[in-house]
Structure 1
Amino acid sequence: MELTREYVRLKAKYGSFRDRDIAGLSSKQKAEYDIYKKVKLKYDDKIKELNEQGAFVIKLYNKFVEAKKIILDYTASDQVGNAELTRIGVTAPEEVKAAKRMYEVLAKVGQDEASLKEGFDYYDAQMKFGVNMNYNARQEIIGDDVNNIADRNYGNNEVKGPDARHGTHVAGIIAANRRNALGILGVASDVKLMILRAIPEGDERDKDVANAIRYAVDNGAKIINMSFGKPFSPQKSAVDEAVRYAESKDVLLIHAAGNENENIDINDNFPSKRYLDGKIAENWIEVGATSWLQPPSAIAEFSNYGGKTVDVFAPGVDLKSTVVGSKYEDLSGTSMAAPVVTGLAAVIKSYYPELSSKQIKKVILQSATKMPHTKVTQPGTSDLVEFSKLSITGGVVNAYNAIRLLEDGHQP
């Protein structure tokens, strides 16, 4: 996690400092010390979460695995289903009946082996790697100096990696084949996808984000989808330069707002369209997620929001799309909402290639379906607020409206 990397870096400088010791620091060091205190607080909170919730999830999954083995051994079966559970009667050994009860209780609360395993994998990885201050395989595996922003000669052409589910799902939302009878229809037809893996299991590095943007721009990309984010950006200047480079080449950037149910007008989510000098990237669309439910539950409960930062919302809950192995899954996240907008931008660019990135952005935002005075639940709270207050447009993307606007001769 970038949180861990920053904590390690800053702790080496300021770990022994106290507020009373800062008199001898320069103004730049004092600002960095303030960042250290903020990072330390977040890191400590994360450790607390893992020690409490994470430890519970891991223990629960391990007990489930143990219960499954007991039932399989008792029933001499290769799976645990209703038939196997029914065969466990009152005369069964106590440990077998206890294993059966565990299955029944988990089923009542909607938990199955797949969901338990997903939770276990997440927290197990967080504990072993995410918050591990001693884990840093970057130099050994990649072979580059992360602090040398100018170096771009590293990496490889392996885009699948250990798990390509997330990226494959995003790609399908944008451009799954619309001419066959399989699975889903992507938003756009006849578009080319350039797949760049800049994100590991964990948080992306600013250097990789900057280089991925530059590589995409230099190799012909007109629209870049960025379904990733993090709360800290120690090399933001390098990302800013890459975003400005994309803007100079008329490339549109579309970014997922994040899944922390936070107001990102206040809480940072990177990469961001606001440069370090305070100016705003005009070739950038920030996307929040809506659900398929009616108001007041129309906003995804996990979605970040911000009346000054998020541009528009798009569907991002239970979206069915492609995953590795010729399969399809329903996934949720602003990572799913962003490619909906990317697909729409691709449709517009396909039919109106003369439009600039800024014009395409303007059409998407102007054509969004507005819901003035509609009350929705603010993510992360139980408060009802006007939907129009959660983004700049106060709207949800609408592909039909966007194309109709252009067909009617509207000049963005």
Structure 2
Amino acid sequence: MKLINIFFFFLLLLAGCKSSKEIHNPTLTISKNNLLPASLKNWYQKDYINDTIPGISLEKWYQLNREKPKSNVIIVAVIDTQIDINHEDLQGQLWINHKEIPNNGIDDDQNGYIDDINGWNFIGTKSGGYVVWNRYEYVRIIQKWGPLFKDKKESQIDSKDIYKYREYHRALKKYEEKGPSYKKWLKSLNYRIELYPIITDTLKYFFPQEDYTYKMLDSLYKKHKVNDKEFWQRRDGVDKDLGALIGCMMLNLELDQKDLEDIQNHQTQLDSTVNKNLKIDYNERLLIGDNPDILEKGYGNNNVSNNKAGHRSLQYHCTKMAGIIGANRENNIGIKGILQNVKIMPLSISSPGDVNDKDVAMAIRYAVDNGAKVINMSFGKEFSLRREWVTEAFKYAEEHNVLLVHCAGNDGVDIDKEPFYPNDTNFENFEEVCSNFINVGAVTNKLSNTFVSDFSNYGKQNVDLFAPGDQIYTTTANGGYTFDSGTSMSVPMVSGTAALMWSYYPNLTAAQIKQIIMDSGTAYDIEVILPGTKDKKVPFSELSKSGKVLNVYNAMQLAKKISKNKR
């Protein structure tokens, strides 16, 4: 048994018309290994009928379309981390606020934000930096609502506060589960760092070139007959025999921590998790200098792309989203985004930990007020301290005909039963609070029982449709390109599609764009393994409201038809 199976840890970091043609009982299975590298890099843009790859049929639409877009540019706000503003494949694709004079310290356009040339950093600090660590939302809830509800029974609580009372206790339960686990993990890391010089020196006796693999160590480990229980009993350094040292290095390799620097980096992250993310009296807002209890403009700073050495990792996520949506299609380098005539507006709210509802609400309002038509939101959390602020922002976007696209999450759970925020329902009766919000799950390139990504959340009420989210090749920080997986990767495909639709059919409403995307998706009549289980199979159609996968070609055809009918 691999040692990781006994290592209890959690990941630190870090989303009206007849349907389109349905594919019934498909027999072709597509796997990563069956795709050539060139196809793997853009598999999600392929078409099932033409290419035998279950993508979003983007290339098919471009191959057959000869019309020019009616709108010169669509602004897509990406509410996320910071962005690599200098990436070669995003040049010309980023939003510029031409009403603002750069770096003059004046709010020239009087929108409440000084020198917001490319967007805004809502977790920017007064000193020009940014908040590196956010608390988890359940920690904020304990800090905020603890004085009201601690040591009280539900019968003592006013009816108007019952929801908060129950959320407080749900948060407290989460905290009591997570806190000890993270501390145990940190203790293990500290132990492994202490042992590392002894381990490497000892293993040189068996592997002078230090060229050992996990399999080779496993063989040596079994030879010395040190079982898991004995190893963990020794982890505090009481008995550092050979078997325990071998087992410790096996764990390092299992966790892809190949050298001491890797382990120390994880130690630094985990130490911050324990002492910041999980610390009830830690207040990250002190660095920002805002009032966390009111909605206000102007806090934060205009630094959406911190390029200091050691800080660029916080650009990775937003840069990936931006590339999928709008990487330059005409420069013959890198990748091709969903559409060319787009401007990406980066709005930073995210760092390790949970986003703050105030930042979510204010970023949405900023995007709406500054011309965005689509807002990409590849983030989420299990709790929401100020969900009413976010709901009000959703409605504000709806009033201004702006579409919100959000990730379903990566926990492999039914979010009809386990809340995932932000969302557009109240979870009591699943009544939608707005008509402009789309929640997106992730699928793979394997049209088989593993079609739905094993990490993807699902829900017949709270997930609207699926889009590719497994092994997606896109832009990343430091001017690079990479593969990544997650429902986060599915969101920009829907956001880009919505922007493409609006660029051709600007008379459509956000509600119509949402409905067209859902109605026009591809319905696959197959059974899939339910995420979070090993082998339980369910119809794919039961995992989302539409039961479908994004299809750009079909969406554009249906948008054209509905747009003509509106004239």
Contact 2:391–2:433 under 8 Å retained in 1: no
Distance of aligned partners of 1:16 and 1:406 in 2 relative to their CA distance in 1, 3 Å threshold: closer
Match of 2:292 in 1: 146
Moved more, 277-286 or 188-197: 277-286
TM-score (norm 2): 0.62
Name whichever of 301-310 and 349-358 sits farther off: 349-358
Q: Residue in 1 aligned with 2:397?
A: 246
Equivalent residue number for residue 5 of structure 1: 140
Equivalent residue, structure 2, for 1:133: 280
Query: Retained in 2: the 8 A contact 1:57–1:123?
Result: no
Q: Retained in 2: the 8 A contact 1:67–1:100?
A: no
Q: Distance in 1 between matches of 2:199 and 2:474?
A: 31
Change (3 A) 1:68 1:279: same
How far, CA to CA, are the matches of 1:367 and 1:68 in structure 2? 58
CA offset at residue 315 of structure 1? 1.0
CA displacement, residues 116-174 of structure 1 (integer Å, 9 cap, x when unaligned): 677656544322221111211212x111110012x222110111354111111111111
1:241-320 equivalences under 5 Å are 241-274=392-425, 278-320=431-473
The residue that corresponds to 1:390 in the other structure is 543
**Number of the residue aligned with 1:348:** 501
Give ranges in structure 2 of 5+ residues lacking alignment.
1-135, 221-239
Asked if residue 209 in structure 1 is aligned to residue 360 in structure 2, the reply is yes
Q: Is the contact between residue 445 and residue 468 of structure 2 (CA under 8 Å) also seen in structure 1?
A: yes
For 2:519 and 2:201, locate their aligned partners in 1 and report how far apart those are by CA, in whole Å. Answer: 60
Tell me the alpha carbon deviations over residues 337-381 of structure 1, each in whole angstroms, 9 at most, x when there is no partner. Answer: 111111111221222223222222222111111023x11111112
Is the alpha carbon distance of 1:59 and 1:14 closer, same or farther for their aligned partners in structure 2, counting shifts above 3 Å? same
Letter in 1 for 2:280: M
**Aligned-pair RMSD on alpha carbons?**
3.4
Q: TM-score, normalised by structure 1?
A: 0.84
Alignment correspondent of 2:483: 330
Q: 1:159 to 1:95 in 2, by over 3 A?
A: farther
Larger helix percent: 1
Residue 173 (1) aligns with residue 305 (2): no
Q: CA separation of 1:80/1:331 partners in 2, compared to 1, >3 Å: closer, same or farther?
A: farther
Distance 1:118 1:385 in 2: 41
1:274–1:280 contact (8 Å) kept in structure 2: yes
Residues 73 and 384 from structure 1, CA distance in 2 versus in 1: closer, same or farther, beyond 3 angstroms? closer
- Contact 1:206-1:234 at 8 Å conserved across structures: yes
**Is residue 322–residue 329 contact of structure 1 (8 Å, CA) maintained in 2?**
yes
Give the 5 Å matches for 1:217-256: 217-256=368-407
Q: Does 1:157 align with 2:302?
A: yes
Higher RCO structure (Cα 8 Å, ≥6 apart): 2
| Corresponding position: 1:17 with 2:152 | yes
Question: Residues 233-266 of structure 1: CA distance to partner in whole angstroms, max 9, x if unpaired?
Answer: 2212211111111111111110111112121112
Say which of 169, 172, 177 aligns to 1:40: 172
Distance 1:283 1:32, change over 3 A: closer
**CA deviation string 1:59-101 (max 9, x = no partner):** 5763685478759999xx9x97679xx9xxx9xxx99999788
The answer on 1:26 being equivalent to 2:171 is no
Q: Distance in 2 between matches of 1:295 and 1:5?
A: 42
Partner of 1:400: 553
- Stretches of structure 1 that go unaligned for 5 or more consecutive residues are none
Q: Which residue of 2 aligns with 1:370?
A: 523
Measure the CA separation in 1 of the matches of 2:319 and 2:281. 31
> Which is worse superposed, 340-349 or 7-16?
7-16
Q: How far 1:311 moved relative to its partner?
A: 0.5
How far, CA to CA, are the matches of 1:370 and 1:126 in structure 2? Answer: 42
- With over 3 angstroms needed to count, the CA separation of the structure-2 counterparts of 1:184 and 1:113, relative to structure 1, is farther
